[in-house]
Amino acid sequence: MSTTLDRLDLSPSTTHTNLYPPVLIEEAIRRGEGLLAANGTLTCRTGDRTGRSPKDKYLEDTPEIHDSIWWGKVNQPITSERFEIAQRIAIEHLNAQHDRFVFEGFCGADPAHRLGVRVVTEQAWHNLFARTLFIPLGSEAAGGSTDWSCDWTILNAGRRRLTPEEQAQLGVSSPVLIAQSLTRKTVVILGTEYAGEIKKSIFYAMNYDMPDQGVFPMHCSANVAKDDPDNVALFFGLSGTGKTTLSADPDRALIGDDEHGWGPNGVFNFEGGCYAKCIRLSKEGEPQIWNAIRFGSVLENVVIDETTREPDYDDASITENTRVTYPVTYIPGAVIPSVGRHPKHVIFLTADAFGVLPPVSRLTREQASYYFINGYTSKLAGTEAGVTEPQPNFSPCFGGPFLPRPPAIYAEMLNERIERHVARVWLLNTGWTGGPYGVGSRFKLAYTRAMVRAILSGALDEVPCEPDPIFGLPIPAHVPDVPDEVLQPRNTWADGAAYDEQARRLAGLFRTNDREFEMPDAVRAAGPNG
């Protein structure tokens, strides 16, 4: 095959490059891609794919990268010949459009560790999404830099679905395909209009490229005390566990809400924007996110009242995975450019649908390694195609779907940095209490925020802890502004025997999962008794 990116027509007469948000919003409305809500936000639909499509994601298998990849369910191989077929389909589709929209900018707020990103789309709103999520040239977030060269290209032909004949030719069984090449530095998106595929493909690229630069890539949010630049905190977790919510704290300055690197000089945001879940969003519960939803941001799959054009954040009739994206500068007092010093606290977030993990625990070094490599949470409804209710999910390093390299590499990078910078590690359960999903209820956000405040203020550093009898997790005896009975999960259940059964069941799942990984005996012993 001789198909190359050179065959993509980016001539000025048909290509609109680096347009400002008002123009992109006007174009999206004119083309029928979205409506302007009463709060000035562009609201768009993503069709039948309202979450990521991990089963349709493939990685080009080439000799240059083969031995460094964690092959399996996450990293499914596609041959070079088939990758070129997918690329040709996308290029021909984009070339056939009257207009193409191009964003050129950065991923990575640290100038020493950033990638140049080009995103080519057929839809104006997808390009607005890219401009919101990445770092525009010349912006304050880029430090004013316009010194750009293209490291990665995304070809988003999301409206072009594969025919049955093309599926057979490509060896896939779906009209949707996300194909990525670490060798060509190219991403091809076919058949899905879910904009999150744009964001996560570049996170995947950073997860491969950054370790070679001595940077630990992380699926976490980050913030810093406004009066103490040394008090930096990281919040690891999968979608729906609270990364965005807990890092958007009026008393602290936001560095970023989802993807960061931990390099020689500290942490830095990969992105220039935030991508928040907004199902059941309220002004009282999450005021910073609520106020960030305004002109220049994009709502995805949020139901809008046809008469008033007011968003209904409680309506999940399209999906539980309703989303909003907005520039990080929309958060008052955010750190711009988005860089910080070495973290003092590392917090793992899990949404436990079994309802048995404690709401807060202070981890030993061995427990930190164990719970990071297992990466337990519950996969929440809507975050992936086909997920309609919470499901137990072990995602290595709290970011398994985005790891091209073996998880042990990232775990070792975290361990080394925790040791070197003497960071404390905590596990927070933002999931269920008083029973499993369907019986119990989710922890009150006010309690979780109080626990985070206590952690970051140092109030829990010396508080006595009692180990959980099954999981061994050290549970603080007291947390300011949180009832003591909430801290011990068994005490919140009406039926203690039912709790014991559920806890042993989850402990057994941990032990089944940890067999997949090589780990020191001391780390394995830090896991649950199951």
- pLDDT (tens digit per residue) in 21-59: 999 999 999 999 999 999 999 999 999 999 999 999 999
Q: Which stretch of DSSP H or E encloses residue 73?
A: none
Q: What is the pLDDT of residues 328-372, one digit of tens each?
A: 999 999 999 999 999 999 999 999 999 999 999 999 999 999 999
Name the catalytic one among 49, 52, 131, 449. Answer: 52
Which region among 6-20, 60-74, 173-187, 265-279 has the lowest average model confidence (pLDDT)? 6-20
For residue 137, pLDDT over 90 is answered with yes
Does the pLDDT value for residue 383 go beyond 60? no
Query: What are the tens digits of pLDDT across the range 168-193?
Result: 999 999 999 999 999 999 999 999 99
Structure confidence at residue 239 (pLDDT): 82
Q: Which pLDDT score, from 0 to 100, does residue 380 have?
A: 64
Between CA 423 and CA 461 the distance in angstroms is 12
| Preceding peptide of 467 cis, ω within 30° | no
Active site residue 185: no
Q: What are the CA-CA distances from residue 90 to residues 80, 165, 199 (Å)?
A: 15, 16, 18
Q: What are phi and psi of 115, to 5 degrees?
A: -115, 145
Active site residue 514: no
296 in the Ramachandran plot: left (φ > 0), alpha (ψ -120 to 50) or beta?
left
Helix (H) or strand (E) holding 288: helix 287-292
In which residue are the tokens 């999940």 written?
316
d(CA 110, CA 33): 34
Please report the pLDDT score of residue 2 as a whole number: 43
pLDDT (mean) for 437-450: 94
- Across residues 15-24, what is the average pLDDT? 96
Catalytic residue among 57, 100, 131, 243: 243
- Sign of the torsion formed by the C-alpha atoms of 37, 41, 47 and 50: negative
Cβ–Cβ contacts within 10 Å for residue 150, how many? 12
Catalytic residue among 56, 249, 257, 258: 258
Q: 297, 291, 299, 298: which is closest to 319 by C-alpha?
A: 299
The model's pTM is: 0.94
Inform me whether the pLDDT recorded for 208 exceeds 80: yes
Q: In the chain, what are the domains?
A: 5-49+56-223+275-330 (3.40.449.10), 344-484 (3.90.228.20)
Say which of 121, 201, 239, 325 is annotated catalytic. 239
Token pair of 154, please? 């995304």
pLDDT, tens digit (0-9, with 9 covering 90-100), for 234-293: 999 988 899 999 999 989 999 999 999 999 999 999 999 999 999 999 999 999 999 999
Q: What sign has the CA pseudo-torsion 374, 380, 384, 386?
A: positive
Confidence at residue 1, expressed as pLDDT on a 0 to 100 scale: 38
For range 62-83, the mean pLDDT: 97
* Spatial separation of the C-alpha atoms in residues 205 and 122, rounded to whole Å: 22
Among residues 43, 53, 244, 448, which one is catalytic? 244
- Whether 52 is a known active-site residue: answer yes
344 is catalytic: no
Average pLDDT along the chain: 95
244 catalytic? Reply is yes
Report whether 374 contacts 407 (CB < 8 A).
no
Give me the catalytic one of 126, 184, 219, 345: 219
pLDDT of residue 240: 83
Buried b (16+ CB within 10 A) or exposed e, 454-467: bbbeebbeeeeeee
Is residue 219 among the annotated active site residues?
yes
Contacts of 480 (CB under 8 A, 6+ apart): 450, 453, 454, 459
What distance lies between CA 283 and its chain's CA centroid? 23
**Per-residue model confidence as pLDDT tens digits over 215-242:** 999 999 999 999 999 999 999 998 889 9
Residue linked to tokens 């220049």: 296
Q: Are 186 and 152 in contact (CB under 8 A)?
A: yes
Distance CA 439, CA 437 (A): 6
- The residue from 323, 417, 424, 449 that is catalytic is 323
Looking at 118, 200, 260, 379, which residue is catalytic? 200
CB contact burial 489-517 (16+ within 10 A = b; e otherwise): beebbeeeeebeebbeebbebbeebbeeb
Residue 259 near residue 229 (C-beta atoms within 8 A): no
One-letter-per-residue 3-state SS of 446-465 = HHHHHHHHHHHHCCCCCCCE
**238 closest CA partner among 51, 436, 439:** 51
Judge whether 478 counts as a catalytic residue.
Answer: no
What's the pLDDT tens digit per position in 490-527? 999 999 999 999 999 999 999 999 999 989 999 999 99
